[in-house]
Structure 1
């Protein structure tokens, strides 16, 4: 309720500074709605959080704060993922990626940092497309999207260690496709490859965790 009062109050002044305040209030309200979803498991709270995040994007755009646009698009994408709406999630991850590219251009000294985020968001867009394709039993398309996700992770410094995980998922989708077309022997071989890649992915993640803990 207090958030609503703040939003209504801020709307009455059409200046970049007030749109900055408005966007921050909307972000805070989105956090509250997300927490309520975690407590109640009621999807309606996620729907409302998505709506508020969209409004936060509008406010951030008027305040010309591109990084906030990217962050809100990221939040929206994650919520669509939780709701099983993978195409909507993919589209919003792509929007987040485009915003991070703009931030990278706007702040040259942080270009590598934001470019990494742009690639990571693109990777997640492909992951969501892979999930959608799998749901539709389009395993070859899912495989291709997971491969793209792995390649995009490979280009980043911060998330490079996750690349083997998505290569493993790509092989799993390939095996599913072969199994469906009755290439059982080949499918078995690819399943074994996927299994080995998942082991490698686990080792990669474990190594990364140890590195983080040692810092």
Structure 2
């Protein structure tokens, strides 16, 4: 009986050792692929996203026009950060305080940072699933490590949907106000920021009264983060 236990112990030890070795290799391979993808888009502009492909199939075509952050109005940059992720410059991809508040409030609010939204838009897919959230949680720190905050915001402002089938700040500004993203005023930037959570049902050109109130709050928030240094990491 003693020899049997010894044999089984060695057998299970070898099996677990084999499984652990291959699991470790799989994890290393996964992060190697993630690192390659993240480094690539640190210098190359993402040509499309899963959402763009889906919308192009549904609508027949989409509008998008990539522009650098330096030619996007700082009014829009600050407004989007103030509305979506006010502590963008101070966190490493996850806003712990916002997550804690979201848990306390239940389903009434989200806590995704701009960094997480970039990962979701560029590397993953829309929708709610534990698989996507897990992958998002694994990839976000890598993006934060490799990309600058300016790059994260630049990509976000170019892949976010601002109207149905209209992606990026430049296409959004031209759709709503007939002007380049560089020429947006503080009010226009704030109105575009109000659209982001639900671009298919909101319009910056014909904002509802509550959207106008929200835009005023966002404009105030944008001025606040410019004054207290929370826009410094992206030159806002």
TM-score, with structure 2 as normaliser: 0.27
Higher-Rg member (1/2): 2
User: Whose relative contact order is higher, 1 or 2, with alpha carbons under 8 Å and at least 6 apart?
Assistant: 2
Structure number with higher helix proportion: 1
